[in-house]
């Protein structure tokens, strides 16, 4: 995240700004908590910039004011974690005003929190003359919005991860745009069950089965290809090193017996998904195909990551876990774009306005 913010920081320094940086780290409970101090980030940023980065031990108050006031052009101060104050998340106007201080310009480059109206993302914009987006947010919007207005086709969306309920709005929004969907991960079992297949002890959201059916029939009406795993890798034990096997294809009467849990897509699914990825001109990928954190269950996610990396399509990876997977397999350089914001990237794909972006000055 520090690296991703460097282009904007360098740009502002070279323009002669007196730069006051604020950010958050972890989930402190609205009060100081030393384990979430940003002090080490000031040191690291100083190394990366090759200049001293001053540090204020509180993001508002006297120390911050004094350190801000004595900055020369091109100098930088990093403020302590904004989440050490309850006013950050509650978007308290007094907190936001104190944070803005006498700043002339606010630059928001925090894409990962742009979907939240917090003091440092939205509140602060009411207390400065102008607010702009940084280069990172600009790039995120370019890939997650602009480039998908008129995508190269076929436009393929790959979704995985745990819950259908987390991804429903994305599916609904992208059904209007995409040509092909691939659904893997635990969420696939709700769809497979909706189609009448046995899924054993796999994770299923029973109350979403009706919705899964609706999505499948909507996709069929629109002529959108909706691919579910042809087979699954299953286990009796959810632990590293557990024995696994691949089921018969669902279409050939396969399914998952009671006592077994689907933890990854099967080999036939890997082949089918990879073939589809090869045909695509635009790929958006959000969510792993299985429990890739454990090597016994990682094959599907790894092979899908490799197929996306090898494709000639515009490839956009969003969402915390698929980004972790891409990094795990060292394929980051081979993707067109990797989003730095899980929740924010999903909301953009859902077609929502991000409060942190909507609040910027419309010049």
Nearest distance, CB of residue 265 and ligand AMP, angstroms:
8
In 10 A of CB 352, how many CB atoms? 14
Phi-psi region of 61 (alpha: psi -120 to 50; beta: other; left: phi over 0): left
Q: How far apart are CA 180 and CA 224, in angstroms?
A: 6
Report in angstroms how near the CB of residue 72 gets to ligand AMP at its nearest.
Answer: 45
Q: In angstroms, rounded to a whole number, what is the distance separating the alpha carbons of residues 108 and 5?
A: 10
Please report how the helices 267-279 and 299-310 are oriented relative to each other, as an axis angle in degrees rounded to 10.
20
Query: Interface residues with ligand AMP (CB under 6 A)?
Result: 161-163, 166, 185-186, 203, 262-263, 287-288, 290-291, 293, 319, 321
Q: Which is the catalytic residue, given 57, 74, 162, 163?
A: 163
Identify which of residues 266 and 287 has a Cβ nearer to ligand AMP in the complex.
287
CA neighbor of 193 nearest in space, from 286, 252, 255, 251: 255
* Pick 229 or 356: Cβ nearer ligand AMP: 229
Q: Which is nearer to ligand AMP, 95 or 273 (CB)?
A: 273
State residue 94 phi and psi, 5-degree precision: -65, -40
CA dist 234 and 238 (Å) reads 10
Residue 302 known to be catalytic:
no
Minimum distance from CB of 54 to ligand AMP (Å)?
Answer: 37
Residue of 320, 334, 351, 352 marked catalytic: 320
Nearest residue to ligand AMP, by Cβ distance, number only: 161
Give the residues across from 282 on adjacent strands: 155, 314
> Is residue 320 annotated as part of the catalytic site, yes or no?
yes
Residue (of 202, 102, 215) closest to 162 by Cα position = 202
CB 247 within 8 A of CB 266: yes
Minimum distance of ligand AMP from residue 292's CB (angstroms): 6
Is 117 or 269 the residue whose CB approaches ligand AMP more closely? 269
343 in catalytic set: yes
From the CB of 319, what's the least distance to ligand AMP, in Å? 6
259 is catalytic: no
Query: Which residue, 162 or 236, is less far from ligand AMP as judged by CB?
Result: 162
Six-digit token string for 54: 């001053």
Residues belonging to the active site:
1, 163, 320, 343
């Amino acid at each position: 995240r520090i690296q991703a913010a460097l282009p904007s920081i360098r740009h502002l320094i070279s323009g002669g700004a007196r730069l006051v940086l604020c950010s958050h780290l972890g989930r402190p409970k609205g009060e100081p908590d030393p384990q979430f101090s940003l002090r080490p980030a000031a040191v690291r940023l100083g190394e990366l910039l090759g200049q001293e980065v001053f540090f204020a031990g509180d993001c508002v108050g006297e120390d911050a004011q004094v350190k801000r006031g004595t900055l020369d052009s091109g100098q930088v101060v990093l403020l302590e974690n904004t989440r050490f104050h309850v006013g950050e998340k509650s978007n308290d106007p007094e907190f936001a005003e104190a944070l803005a201080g006498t700043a002339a310009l606010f630059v928001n480059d925090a894409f990962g929190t742009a979907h939240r109206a917090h003091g440092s993302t939205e509140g602060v914009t009411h207390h400065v003359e102008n607010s702009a987006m940084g280069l990172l947010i600009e790039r995120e919007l370019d890939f997650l919005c602009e480039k998908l207005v008129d995508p190269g086709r076929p436009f393929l969306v790959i979704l995985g991860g745990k819950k259908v309920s987390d991804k429903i709005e994305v599916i609904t929004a992208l059904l209007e745009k995409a040509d092909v969907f691939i659904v893997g991960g635990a969420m696939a079992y709700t769809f497979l069950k909706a189609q009448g297949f046995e899924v054993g002890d796999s994770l299923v959201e029973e109350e979403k089965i009706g919705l899964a059916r609706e999505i499948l029939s909507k996709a069929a009406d629109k002529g959108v290809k909706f691919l579910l795993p042809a087979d699954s890798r299953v286990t009796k034990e959810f632990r590293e090193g557990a024995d696994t096997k691949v089921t018969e294809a669902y279409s050939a009467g396969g399914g998952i017996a009671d006592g077994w849990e689907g933890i990854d897509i099967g080999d036939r699914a890997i082949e089918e998904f990879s073939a589809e990825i090869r045909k695509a001109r635009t790929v958006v990928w959000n969510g792993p195909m299985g429990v890739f954190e454990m090597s016994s269950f990682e094959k599907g996610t790894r092979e899908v990551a490799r197929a996306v990396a090898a494709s000639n399509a515009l490839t956009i990876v969003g969402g915390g876990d698929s980004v972790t997977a891409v990094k795990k397999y060292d394929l980051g350089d081979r993707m067109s774009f990797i989003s730095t914001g899980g929740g924010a990237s999903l909301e953009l794909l859902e077609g929502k306005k991000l409060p942190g972006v909507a609040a910027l000055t419309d010049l």
